[in-house]
Chains A and B, each alone.
Chain A
Amino acid sequence: MNIISITQAHRKTSHTIIESDDDSDIEMDDQGIITRTGTGTGASSSLVVTPGELITSDPTWMKGHGTYYLTSSSTTTTDENNNNNNSEMPTYSSLAGTIQKVNKLLTVVPFKGRYKPETGDHIIGRITGISVKRWKVDIGGERSATLLLGSVNLPGGVLRRKTEADELQMRSFLKEGDLVNCEVQNGGGDGGCMLHTRSLKYGKLRNGVFVKVPSGLIVRSKNHSFDLPGGVSIILGVNGFCWIGMTKRDGSGNSNSSGNVIGNNLKTEAGLTQKKYK
């Protein structure tokens, strides 16, 4: 039965044709990955998959995140153990994204998604709650993260055994709404993760403003803190939470010189003239 459908005339938008020197493109066809014929937007379109699309029928591929397979009687996901080595297990995509192959592992990386924490990520979090010997931190991911009392450096010493008095005074150190500069200690594991601030470069953030950007725009790199001219430094957390603030003066340790108004700072350090307010 034929269906007649009407669609709007599209204005032709220009797509940048991406010249791909990627070797993996050539391997894909040899290893039985079914790709969609390009729609004229360049090599990248052949890697795009959408939910429900068949990626490959080859059972030798290991199925990673973003894929699923169907057995004859039931639907199973990659998290379950599967012993059906003899039956056909075509791999389908469950996300809209691009295919990524690492050795024999097949995953689909989605176009967009919430931040997924990984061990070693330098991020910024906002305290949302306090419970026994730990703080609950919002990092913009699927779940809140945990910051244990034992994982922070208290003022008055880099390493100090946490006493019971400290447990009762957690709010005096970090309260709800505070921003902390920290690192992911234990990433992944169903989305919840543990954080720590065990270094002089981490800790509570002061004298600045907070900006949130989509987490996909931040590239993981060795260093996420940068000093800009004018006495300004920025921290680009991998989770998309960023901090623009005053550069910490050298030799002041953990405590910052407090209460400097940015107006005065601009005058003295960047040499701007004072504007008259009419």
Chain B
Amino acid sequence: MSRLELYSPEGIRIDGRRFNELRQFTSQLNTHPNVSDGSSYVQQGNSKVICLVQGPMESLSNTNAGGASKLDHNGPILSININYPPFANNVRKKRMRNDRRLQELCVVLKRCFLKTIVSKNYARTVIEVNITVLSMDGGLLACCCNAITLALIDAGIALYDYVSAISIGLYNQIPLLDMNTLEENDLSFITIGVVGDSDKLNLVLCEDKLPLDNLEALISLGIEGCHRIKQLMDEQVRLVGTDLLSKKQ
């Protein structure tokens, strides 16, 4: 196979995009109305993720009544679980039960959303979030974050604002927006989650090494990308909401 050109001199990436071009973003809300309180489906290019939210409720569904003592008086117990089946990647690979990387992503997402949910309304309750990755082609954390935001909104859980996320990588000095698997394997990248239309970040994760002087350019490109994604998610929420309203009347 000839050498893959991650970024051609004309400014074209492997899949034909420009440096500031997002992959095709599709989202859907209320995909599983009967099995969960809130559900969503997010597709960024070939990365597809389903998110199911149960809650707020009194105890975790998979424990037998023993959870009451662990309830927090200040806010909800947020339980996030990422399910990564063996067919999600290109090469079939069965994940171990306690895959470290997935657990770390769960912790990062939990910290992000505990700040985003209006905790005071949900004291002494449990919110359970289950993510199933159907197919992954780069941007795992970003897809999960976007899917959780939409599913929480669908469940009617109060949020201060949207958290929209994207991954940005660095090729020499050039920032590339929304990485796919081939780019993620070769380049360093960072995932950021932005609050609504502001410049504040609720989620930052870099699993590689990045030079500090390029960081600002990466983050400002990422913030612009996140604003666009927030706009797309917002459109979908309004569409689904107006549809629900029209059916009730």
Listed in ascending order, the chain A residues whose CB lies under 8 Å from chain B are 1-8, 13, 15-16, 18, 39, 41-42, 44-45, 48, 50-52, 66, 68, 75, 77, 79-80, 92, 94-98, 110-114, 129, 142-144, 190-191, 214, 216-217
Whether A129 touches B238, Cβ cut-off 8 Å, given contacts A3-B225, A52-B161, A142-B125, is: no
Whether A111 touches B159, Cβ cut-off 8 Å, given contacts A1-B220, A48-B238, is: no
Which residues of B lie under 8 Å from residue A113 when comparing CB positions? 37, 155-156
Which of B33, B153, B155, B244 has the most A CB atoms < 10 Å from its CB? B153
Which of A4, A94, A112 has the most B CB atoms < 10 Å from its CB? A112
Sampled A-B contacts (8; CB under 8 Å): A3-B20, A48-B245, A77-B118, A94-B159, A95-B156, A95-B159, A111-B244, A112-B37
Whether A112 touches B244, Cβ cut-off 8 Å, given contacts A7-B25, A52-B160, A142-B57, is: yes
Say which residue of A80, A111, A114 sits within 8 Å of B245 (CB atoms). A111
The answer to whether B20 and A50 have CB atoms under 8 Å apart is no
The answer to whether B21 and A52 have CB atoms under 8 Å apart is no
The answer to whether A52 and B162 have CB atoms under 8 Å apart is yes
Whether A143 touches B244, Cβ cut-off 8 Å, given contacts A5-B228, A51-B160, A114-B56, is: no
Instruction: State A69–B1 Cα separation when bound (angstroms).
Output: 57
The answer to whether A18 and B246 have CB atoms under 8 Å apart is yes
Interface residue ranges of B188-211 to A (CB < 8 Å): 195-197
Instruction: State A52–B232 Cα separation when bound (angstroms).
Output: 15
The answer to whether B160 and A112 have CB atoms under 8 Å apart is no
The answer to whether B228 and A3 have CB atoms under 8 Å apart is yes
The answer to whether B156 and A8 have CB atoms under 8 Å apart is no
The answer to whether B160 and A45 have CB atoms under 8 Å apart is no
The answer to whether B246 and A15 have CB atoms under 8 Å apart is yes
Instruction: State A62–B225 Cα separation when bound (angstroms).
Output: 36
Which residues of A lie under 8 Å from residue B242 when comparing CB positions? 15, 41, 44-45, 48
Say which residue of A6, A44, A94, A112 sits within 8 Å of B155 (CB atoms). A112
Shortest beta-carbon distance from A68 to chain B in Å: 6
Whether A190 touches B123, Cβ cut-off 8 Å, given contacts A51-B159, A129-B65, is: yes
Shortest beta-carbon distance from A147 to chain B in Å: 16
In the complex, B24 has a CB within 8 A of chain A = yes
In the complex, B120 has a CB within 8 A of chain A = yes
Q: Which size bracket describes the interface of B in this complex?
A: 35 or more
Which residues of B lie under 8 Å from residue A190 when comparing CB positions? 123-124
Shortest beta-carbon distance from A217 to chain B in Å: 8
Which residues of B lie under 8 Å from residue A52 when comparing CB positions? 159-162, 195-197
Give the nearest-CB partner of B238 in chain A.
A48
- Apart from A4-B20, A48-B238, A50-B234, what are 5 other A-B pairs with CB-CB below 8 Å? A97-B241, A98-B245, A110-B156, A111-B245, A142-B58
Listed in ascending order, the chain B residues whose CB lies under 8 Å from chain A are 17-18, 20-26, 30, 33, 37-38, 55-58, 65, 118, 120-121, 123-125, 153-156, 158-162, 177, 195-197, 220-221, 224-225, 227-229, 232, 234, 237-238, 240-246, 248-249
Instruction: State A121–B18 Cα separation when bound (angstroms).
Output: 58
Instruction: State A113–B154 Cα separation when bound (angstroms).
Output: 8
Whether A114 touches B156, Cβ cut-off 8 Å, given contacts A7-B25, A41-B242, A214-B33, is: yes
Say which residue of A8, A75, A95, A112 sits within 8 Å of B158 (CB atoms). A95
Shortest beta-carbon distance from B58 to chain A in Å: 6
Which residues of B lie under 8 Å from residue A80 when comparing CB positions? 120
Which residues of A lie under 8 Å from residue B33 when comparing CB positions? 214
Which residues of A lie under 8 Å from residue B57 when comparing CB positions? 114, 142-143
Shortest beta-carbon distance from B11 to chain A in Å: 12
The answer to whether A51 and B246 have CB atoms under 8 Å apart is no
Instruction: State A48–B121 Cα separation when bound (angstroms).
Output: 22
Instruction: State A92–B197 Cα separation when bound (angstroms).
Output: 13
Instruction: State A69–B213 Cα separation when bound (angstroms).
Output: 36
Which residues of B lie under 8 Å from residue A42 when comparing CB positions? 246
Whether A112 touches B156, Cβ cut-off 8 Å, given contacts A4-B18, A129-B65, A214-B33, is: yes
Which residues of B lie under 8 Å from residue A1 when comparing CB positions? 20, 220-221, 224
Instruction: State A113–B58 Cα separation when bound (angstroms).
Output: 15
The answer to whether B158 and A66 have CB atoms under 8 Å apart is yes
Instruction: State A48–B26 Cα separation when bound (angstroms).
Output: 21
Which residues of A lie under 8 Å from residue B162 when comparing CB positions? 50-52
Shortest beta-carbon distance from A198 to chain B in Å: 26
